[in-house]
Structure 1
Amino acid sequence: MRTTRSQELVDSIVELIDRRQLRPGDPLPPEPRLMEEFGVARNSVREALRTLQALGIVEIRHGYGTFVGEASMAALSPSLLFRTRARSRDDLRGLSDLLEVRQILETELTRRVVGDGKLLSALGECVDRMVDPATAPAADRRFHELIGEAAGNELALELIRLFWDVYRQTESHVGAPTSQPEGLVAKHQEILEAIAAADPRAIGEAVSRHFDEIRQRIAAG
């Protein structure tokens, strides 16, 4: 029952933020006002605010008050990382699930950005930087971020970044990449060409092949 009441208070504070149309950086009512509004004790309010802080929904600034946070997807990283690592000890299914979700997301986003000349140029620059092993990881990440940005979906872009970070931290479960730098370049060049051709089927196949090596490493693990 306590857990249910705690969650109800968390939900009520979120509803208050929405109802009052508060934006990131706006102050929340002080604790006494929240206690009065929801008819709860100070400890209950503080517990709810700590929960919301962990989710990035509020920011507690000691000595100043509580403010609406950015609610970044980065707040989910520890939970997703734990889930992925815990399952990886058994059959690597956690990584496999993560890869599948990422492929579904990136395939759809990539199909939305065809015909964008400025994007093609920026993606081409990323591919060029992948030739150098020293700049390849950052260029690889930026390649996918550019597609997410061009698709115009901020939530999807945050998920791409989240999946990327979590995968990099769990990659040790499947060992080091087996392909050479030219293989990385070729895979991304294929995606680039499929976007330029505005071919949804080719895009799907290119994105799928992009993840083939990781799939093989997971299967071998």
Structure 2
Amino acid sequence: MSSVPSLRRNLSGDLAQAVVALVEQEGLRPGDPLESLKALAARFDVAVPTMREALRRLEGLGLVDFRHGSGIYVGINAGRRVLANPVQSRPDADQLVELLEARRQIEPSLAMLAAQVRDEAGIALMEESLASAQEQIASGDDALWLTNLDFHRAVAAAGGNSVLVEVLDSIVLVHAEDQREILRLHGDASADYAEHARIAECVRRGDPQAARDAAYTHLDHVVEVIRARRG
């Protein structure tokens, strides 16, 4: 049973390495465009969600850059030789709780800022990720965890502060496999979606305190679930 997630992680890692090799072979430099997500999936003969997962790994390392409405580009860290290791063993529950507690210190404030600023591009990304999540819940798409991460990143983007967006990315993307395990253990996709929708509603209507409280409550619930399964 446990071999299936392992195979998926290996495939994602192999694809990530193949994209890095492609960038090197074609002599691409930071800022150069890559093929579209669908074209890359076709090139490597994999499903689009699998390709997206591999690219998100590379995004967390600054090796590729997703630009909403524009495409995928070579990231600023392409060519660097000292980077975080994207291949990690499955974390234990204590490590997951630590990660969630770190997010709980940061993300409520980001949600508050999002409700104050309501950056249009960030709001659009937030709505897009919610719509995608709804479709994935209905279809049972196992790439839902990536869309959920995109929602949290979109809330940060709605605050209009690119430095804070990078701070959140450094947590949720570099620790992407940990986030995947958190969402697997949480197990209630519909409840998770409802809490995301609540955060989005507060941001949309410009209620900073409610947005902060909704984000804190959401992460607090996830912490409770992981703690209950610890040990």
2:169 counterpart (137, 146, 161): 161
2:196 equivalent to 1:196 = no
Aligned-partner Cα distance in 1 for 2:145–2:97: 21
2:123 counterpart (120, 125, 129): 120
Cα offset, 1:144, TM superposition? 1.9
Any stretches of 5+ residues in structure 1 without a counterpart? 1-23, 26-54, 57-68
SS at match of 2:178: helix
Q: For residues 192 and 154 of structure 1, do their structure 2 counterparts lie closer, same or farther at Cα, with a shift above 3 Å needed?
A: same
For 1:180, the equivalent position in structure 2 comes to 188
For 1:7, the equivalent position in structure 2 comes to none
Q: For residues 165 and 197 of structure 1, do their structure 2 counterparts lie closer, same or farther at Cα, with a shift above 3 Å needed?
A: same
Counterparts in 2 of 1:30-179, with a 5 A limit? 70=76, 77-78=84-85, 92=94, 94-114=95-115, 115-116=118-119, 119-131=122-134, 132-133=136-137, 134=141, 135-170=143-178, 176-179=184-187
Amino acid at match of 2:178: T
Q: Is the 8 A contact 1:175 1:217 kept in 2?
A: no
CA offset digits 1:46-70 (Å, max 9, x no partner): xxxxxxxxx99xxxxxxxxxxxx94
Aligned-CA RMSD value: 3.6
Percent of aligned pairs with the same amino acid: 21
Aligned-partner Cα distance in 1 for 2:201–2:183: 30
Q: For residues 180 and 173 of structure 1, do their structure 2 counterparts lie closer, same or farther at Cα, with a shift above 3 Å needed?
A: closer
Q: For residues 175 and 118 of structure 1, do their structure 2 counterparts lie closer, same or farther at Cα, with a shift above 3 Å needed?
A: closer
1:215 counterpart (223, 226, 231): 223
SS at match of 2:185: coil
Aligned-partner Cα distance in 1 for 2:164–2:111: 12
CA offset digits 1:91-148 (Å, max 9, x no partner): 71x4333222222222222212224455434322321211214252232122222222
TM-score by length of structure 1 reads 0.52
Count of residues in correspondence between the two structures: 149
Q: Is the 8 A contact 2:132 2:147 kept in 1?
A: yes
Question: Rg bigger for which structure?
Answer: 1
Q: For residues 100 and 169 of structure 1, do their structure 2 counterparts lie closer, same or farther at Cα, with a shift above 3 Å needed?
A: same
Q: Is the 8 A contact 1:130 1:181 kept in 2?
A: no
SS at match of 1:152: coil
Q: For residues 148 and 173 of structure 1, do their structure 2 counterparts lie closer, same or farther at Cα, with a shift above 3 Å needed?
A: closer
Aligned-partner Cα distance in 2 for 1:152–1:164: 18
Amino acid at match of 1:201: Q
Cα offset, 1:192, TM superposition? 0.6
Q: Is the 8 A contact 2:172 2:179 kept in 1?
A: no
SS at match of 1:198: coil
**Larger relative CO (CA 8 A, sep 6+): 1 or 2?**
2
TM-score by length of structure 2 reads 0.50
Instruction: Give structure 1 regions of 4+ aligned residues with deviation exceeding 6 angstroms.
Output: 172-175
